[in-house]
Structure 1
Amino acid sequence: MNKLEHNHTMTDRAVHPVIWDTDYGMVGSINFYLLDTGGSLVLIDAGLDSDECRTRLQSELKNIGATVADISRILLTHHHEDHAGLVPWLLEQQNIPVHAHPDAVPRLKADRKFLEMRLEFFRTLYREMGCGDMGAARFETLEETIRDADELALRTEIRPLEEGDSICRLDVIETPGHSPDCISFVDKRNRFVFSGDVILDGASVNALIDPDLDGNRLPSVSQQRQSLKKISGLDTDVLLPGHRNEIRNHRELAAEKIARMDRKDVRILDLIRGGTHVPAEIAQAYYGKKYHAVFPLIMSEIIGHLDFLESEGKISKTMTRGIWHYRAESSD
């Protein structure tokens, strides 16, 4: 029996994990969940749009004597393709209400105006961060998304969920950082949380730079820190994450993740004090060959930490010839 299935047979609401073991993103598995609410099922996240994920969901439904017709709602922790992938296929089977954070709406619906704004956001961002031509591949992907927007758009109403809302006896908390629209679902009675990608055991979670709906850069690392603190403060027994194993030491794990972020801040500050001032150069000095291998993730990390250090008054920046240069503030 799957570990998660065994652990949750004693709650008054059965949780049936749908786990697809994979090397997608080196996270080990893609997890999504069927929650039995008594008479119907709630699907929390929807895996990747792949035959393997689809077969895994169908198999789990069959194991519990159910079909897609028994799914009454879909709740998304965020819009990423490995969490919302099967939603279009499920909607082809029947009209199922989809719930997500408001910031997920233009992303799931592939809103062309939003996507065009996002492309220009990254063009400006990478230019001002001294990245040269490194963003070219990212721009091509974003341009392709704009061209395919009509095909990619989720064609259904997305019902908004925000901090303080409740649905199916689950309390909604906002946990952004990895993505602006990240939310988690807390079952206080049974003391478990569907936590998406806010924290994973044995894998890092990237705080991803992105614009808000008005085109302003979001403080991803600051948001991730606050989300980890929020998760740490939950009175719960187990987190059911979007990847890897369930988490039963969420306080210790969150503290470990925050400490790792602190160490990264110190190292970046040391690089700046040592004379590396341009963000792209800081990224290359910090990550070496990874800078070229996973450029968007690396720049997100560095920019997010620079934003955090600036918000803490530890660094400042000036623009020279269209490129930001960072300086360490004196530490009296």
Structure 2
Amino acid sequence: MDRITLGNEEFEGRNNAYVLADGDELALVDTGVATDDIRTDLRDGLAERGYEFADVDDIVLTHFHVDHAGLAGEIQRESDATVYVHEADAPLIEQDEAAVAALEERREALLEEWGLPEDVRAELRSFFADATHLEGPSAEPTPIEDGTVLEVGGTTLETVHAPGHAAGLCCFEIGDGSEASRGGEATDGGSRTGGEAFVGDAVLPVYTPNVGGADVRVERPLERYAETLRTFVDRGYDRVWPGHRDPIEEPSERARTILAHHRERSENVLDVLEEHGPADAWTVSAHLFGDLEGIHIVHGPGEAYAHLDHLRHEGVLAYDDGEYRLLERPTDLEALV
């Protein structure tokens, strides 16, 4: 797989932009942030392959986060490329004022609900204000949905919606639409297994993707993400190409490992409540992660909230006056997460 490695010191490590090319057809899967050094990395990477931004026909975005989509608008303006992104994320790629305002209002409401002190919230607002340069100009997206088949760069990509880390996060199965191209057989339910896919931040090789704070629009974020991980296991991919770092050679095993990680984290959340009594998400986050700065100010309590919210819906916790309290410790978390 032809990938251009891009720098990224703020988020989950090195970003990947994947190049799909067939003669005059050129597509990118993700683009990186809109900073001078990353722009240069991407331009130089394309130049080494005999291309420039103006040659890009299609851009396929795994989700709206700036480290994956920041340069999409700029490239589109130079090339008139079609920008594909899931319909849930399309308004944010377009930088629609109402969608951006709704996201910010939702985040502010949750930060208060989670119990973040005002000075910490102010620090986070300052971080986001300082990070606006990473976004780049808006793009005019073409919305897609689960099951959409794209023909880009001489390659067939089938869209698999994979929410959790982000509402519109998608994986893209690589092939020509046939069973053989995916390296596997149909399951009893008719879904194809095997083959390879671009997976954005659905599954990462080193870090576990944040849930709860990375996209505050997602309802029941841990449940949604656990469903995505189980889909990964069911699809049985042979190899996947993540949005950060190196390819994952045993994707199903990695998905199982991340599921186990979340069961362990739920155990840790229960330990906090058992030892310290009722608490809000910010307090639980402090016990789990300690002091936080930058983007982690929302990621930490967001992750704690994802687990607290899930355990509340499963009848393990009660929620009163902004705090969660333990009702009865479950004996089998595998049945819940």
Shared fold per TM-score greater than 0.5: yes
The verdict on how the C-alpha distance between 1:315 and 1:49 changes in structure 2, with shifts beyond 3 A counting, is same
Which amino acid is the alignment partner of residue 232 of structure 2?
I
Structure 1 residue aligned with 2:190? none
Report the counterpart of residue 167 of structure 1 in structure 2: 150
Q: Distance in 2 between matches of 1:95 and 1:87?
A: 11
Aligned to 1:123: 108
Query: Cα gap change, 1:155/1:84 in structure 2, threshold over 3 Å: closer, same or farther?
Result: closer
CA drift of 1:205 comes to 1.3
- What's 1:316 paired with? 318
Gaps of 5+ in 1: 1-14
The answer to whether residue 237 in structure 2 is matched with residue 252 in structure 1 is no
**What residue identity is the alignment partner of 1:102?**
E
Displacement of 1:24 after TM fit?
Answer: 3.6
Give the Cα–Cα distance (whole angstroms) in 2 for the partners of residues 19 and 126 of structure 1.
Answer: 34
Cα 1:327–1:291 change in 2 (3 A) is: farther
1:193 Cα offset (Å)? 0.6
Cα RMSD between the aligned structures?
2.6
Give the Cα separation in 1 of the matches to 2:172 and 2:294. Answer: 36
* Corresponding residue to 1:180 among 167, 172, 182: 167
Aligned to 2:5: 19
Q: Say how many residue pairs are matched.
A: 306
Partner in structure 2 of residue 197 of structure 1: 201
Q: Which residue of 1 aligns with 2:287?
A: 285
Q: Which residue of 2 aligns with 1:241?
A: 242
AA partner of residue 315 (structure 2): G
Rounded to whole Å, the distance in 1 between the matches of 2:67 and 2:295 is 21
Identity within the alignment, % = 24
1:200 is matched by which residue type in structure 2?
Answer: L
Structure 2 matches for 1:74-113, cutoff 5 A? 74-113=59-98
Counterpart CA distance in 1 for 2:293 and 2:230 is 29
1:32 is paired with a residue whose SS is strand
The CA deviation at 1:22 is 4.4
CA contact (8 A) 1:97 1:159 kept: yes
The list of structure 1 runs, each at least 4 consecutive aligned residues, that deviate by more than 4 angstroms after superposition, is: 140-145
Larger mean Cα displacement after TM superposition, 128-137 or 240-249: 128-137
Aligned to 1:268: 269
207 and 318 in structure 1: CA distance in 2 versus 1, 3 angstrom threshold: same
Q: For 1:162 and 1:94, how far apart are their aligned partners in 2?
A: 24
Q: Give TM-score scaled by structure 2 length.
A: 0.82
Gaps of 5+ in 2: 176-180, 183-194, 332-337
| 2: CA distance, partners of 1:291 / 1:34 | 34
1:109/1:141 CA distance change after superposition, 3 Å: farther
